[in-house]
Structure 1
């Protein structure tokens, strides 16, 4: 039984605990929050046995084997390393760190402590993504990957009214690329590896973070386009475009209801067999890596996370988005 500690008390942690309820060998047991009131409220809601407002005590707890981190991006590095230095495995929300340097330090700490560190990118662990990998050869030579994720944020509505919430705070290493752009970039890296060139543009808000952006990635014989936004919606799907057909992905963040459209005009729906909540699959992958004494996930590998962090940092800096963590 993996006893899981939780850092963060937001809707994402609610979803993670819901996913854990479908796994007999995972038991959420504890929560850390900066305030006792929030910790107690969250613990009551999810029937957790232990609450902490001292992060050191949380990291040292004998009642926790692994930790799920869903705090603001700027806190991932310090919190993860503290937990790993105390022998805790860590499942860390995407993006795993503010920048590439922090991500490197986190994976070094995991290696030195002999624990698993995995980036919580749910999409690449889902049955739909495996179905994409199994069928990608059927569309012939891939010439273009399009990762499209544009979703108007309720927090942007507050921003337009003059209230800056965490999602648009530079000091927390936030913005559209970090929140949504990563959903397009990470699967690209898993499928095609590291590109040779990155070209990025974006729209900056007055807080110093990006509201929207587009990144073009150049490979030997293909290109990839990732577009993302928190300040408007888009309804176009994502696609993997090959010489013989295309795989249509309606929602890049949760690959499901996939279709292959072949060059001859025929179509085929791909059955994805998504039985459990979306976050079930990343938690299952994390737990399997621990149980099998692996050095990390075989899907969301350290290499994939490090390459993605480097690409995101380069794209961010081309747009002029610099975080305090970079300085």
Structure 2
């Protein structure tokens, strides 16, 4: 059994625990929250009574082998390094850090301590994404990647009424590119590598974060175009266009239905039904790597995370989106 602690007591942590509970080697043993009351309440849902309100004590505890971090983005790096330096494996929610400098600290800590660090970016570990990757060759020369993820945030109404929640607060390294845009960029990097050039434009909100944006990437023989938003909805699918046909992906963040429409008019359905909730697959990858004493995922690799983070840094620079974390 791999004994897990969790940092964060929000809905995403609940989703992770519920999904990972389908894996026989997963055991939830500890909860962290800033208040003992909240930690105990959350633990009660999952029959866990070992709670922590101090991260250093938790990191030194023999009650956990690994930790899932789902705290605000600005806290990811410091918390991850603390646990990595205590020999604990770390699965960290996307985006894995605020910037490249923070991520490099995390990677160095993982390597120095021979423990696993992995970004919890679910998309690339889903069965349908494997289908996307394995069938790209059928498209012929690939010329364009297009991805759209625009989802009106439930917190935006509060923002418009004058209440700035974490999602729209730069103090926490947040904003649309970090929360939503990363889902359009990471899969592109995983499939095609890092582009040669980036051009970004977007709408900045008065709180200091971006609300939405569009980005053009140039790879030389192909281009990438993405749009993302937390202040509007979009209902169009994503697409990879090749000279022989185009691959249509229903949702880039959680691909379920995938098909190729060939230029001769024929259609090939590549969809694989998911037997488990989406976050199951990232937990399974993480646990399998620990069990095999492998300390870097070949899918959500350090390279893919660093290249994505480098692009996010570049995009933020072009938008004028600055975090307090950038000054450290």
Instruction: Please say whether Structure 1 and Structure 2 have the same fold, judged by a TM-score greater than 0.5.
Output: yes
1:55 partnered with 2:94: no
Aligned to 1:311: 311
Aligned to 2:35: 35
1:324 partnered with 2:321: no
Q: 185-194 or 47-56: which moved more?
A: 47-56
Per-residue deviation, residues 258-289 of structure 1 (Å, max 9, x unmatched): 11111112212113131100000000011111
Aligned to 1:205: 205
> Residue 202 of structure 1: SS of its match in structure 2?
strand
Aligned to 2:179: 179
1:89 partnered with 2:89: yes
CA distance in 2, matches of 1:4, 1:324: 30
CA distance in 2, matches of 1:41, 1:234: 36
Aligned counterparts, 1:162-241, within 5 A: 162-241=162-241
CA distance in 1, matches of 2:114, 2:6: 20
Contact 2:103 2:306 in 1 (8 A): yes
Aligned to 2:134: 134
Aligned counterparts, 1:91-130, within 5 A: 91-130=91-130
Contact 1:216 1:223 in 2 (8 A): yes
Question: Which runs of no fewer than 5 residues in structure 1 stay unpaired?
Answer: none
> Residue 155 of structure 2: SS of its match in structure 1?
helix
CA distance in 2, matches of 1:242, 1:306: 27
1:149 partnered with 2:149: yes
CA distance in 1, matches of 2:12, 2:204: 26
**How does the TM-score come out when normalised to structure 2?**
0.99
Count of aligned positions: 327
Contact 1:20 1:28 in 2 (8 A): no
> Residue 17 of structure 1: SS of its match in structure 2?
helix
CA distance in 1, matches of 2:201, 2:4: 39
CA distance in 2, matches of 1:202, 1:162: 22
CA distance in 1, matches of 2:208, 2:234: 23
Contact 2:40 2:49 in 1 (8 A): no
1:282 partnered with 2:282: yes
**How does the TM-score come out when normalised to structure 1?**
0.99
> Residue 217 of structure 1: SS of its match in structure 2?
strand
CA distance in 2, matches of 1:250, 1:118: 26
What is the alpha-carbon root mean square deviation over aligned residues? Answer: 0.7
1:23 partnered with 2:32: no
CA distance in 1, matches of 2:227, 2:100: 21
Q: Any runs of at least 4 consecutive aligned residues in structure 1 with deviations exceeding 3 A, and if so which?
A: none
CA distance in 2, matches of 1:253, 1:49: 34
> Residue 154 of structure 1: SS of its match in structure 2?
coil
Per-residue deviation, residues 58-93 of structure 1 (Å, max 9, x unmatched): 111110000000000000010000011111000000
CA distance in 1, matches of 2:193, 2:271: 26
Report the Cα offset of residue 295 of structure 1: 2.4
CA distance in 2, matches of 1:238, 1:104: 31
CA distance in 1, matches of 2:20, 2:29: 11
Report the Cα offset of residue 294 of structure 1: 1.3
CA distance in 1, matches of 2:89, 2:171: 27
CA distance in 2, matches of 1:49, 1:198: 48
> Residue 299 of structure 2: SS of its match in structure 1?
coil
Report the Cα offset of residue 293 of structure 1: 1.2
CA distance in 1, matches of 2:281, 2:309: 22
Per-residue deviation, residues 19-51 of structure 1 (Å, max 9, x unmatched): 111000011111100011110110001111310
Aligned to 1:297: 297
